C-alpha cells in the first residue's frame, strides 16, 4: 500500500487487490474469487479495514484459548493413562 495523499481525517492510498484480500484472510484475490468469496470492488466501494483487525484479534483469542485447553487436556490425558495402566495391571492379575 502506498499513501498518495492526506487530509485532516483520511488518507488517500493506492492498494493492490491482493493486499485488500490479505486483510480479509485470503491468500490472494484469485484464490478468494475461485472459492466464490470475491469482493465487489468498484470505484466508490467502501471497505472497513477494521474487520481484518477484528479477524486477527479473534485468531489471537482462539490461540490463547487453545493453549489453556491444551493444559487441561494434558492433565486429563495423564489421568486417563494412569487409569488405563491400573486397569491393565489388574486385568493381568
Confidence of residue 54 (pLDDT cuts 50, 70, 90): low
Nearest to 48 by CA among 29, 23, 26, 27: 23
User: How far apart, in whole angstroms, are the C-alpha atoms of residue 29 and residue 68?
Assistant: 35
Q: Is the pLDDT of residue 5 over 90?
A: yes
Q: What is the pLDDT of residues 17-35, one digit of tens each?
A: 888 878 777 767 777 787 7
List residues bridging with 5 in a β-sheet. Answer: 12
Whether 38 and 21 have beta carbons less than 8 Å apart is answered as: no
Give, as one character, the DSSP assignment of residue 51: H
CB-based contacts of 48, cutoff 8 Å, min separation 6: none
- Identify the pLDDT of residue 3: 94
What number of other Cβ atoms are within 10 A of residue 20's Cβ?
A: 19
- Identify the pLDDT of residue 9: 92
In this prediction the pTM is: 0.48
Q: What is the pLDDT of residues 56-91, one digit of tens each?
A: 677 788 888 888 888 888 888 988 998 888 888 888
Amino acid at each position: 500500500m502506498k499513501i498518495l495523499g492526506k487530509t485532516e481525517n483520511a488518507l488517500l492510498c493506492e492498494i493492490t487487490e491482493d493486499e485488500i484480500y490479505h486483510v480479509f484472510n485470503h491468500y490472494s484475490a484469485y484464490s478468494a474469487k475461485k472459492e466464490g468469496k470475491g469482493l465487489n470492488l468498484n470505484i466508490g466501494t467502501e471497505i472497513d479495514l477494521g474487520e481484518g483487525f477484528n479477524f486477527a484479534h479473534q485468531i489471537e483469542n482462539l490461540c490463547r484459548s487453545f493453549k489453556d485447553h491444551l493444559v487441561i487436556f494434558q492433565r486429563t490425558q495423564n489421568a486417563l493413562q494412569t487409569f488405563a495402566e491400573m486397569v491393565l495391571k489388574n486385568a493381568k492379575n
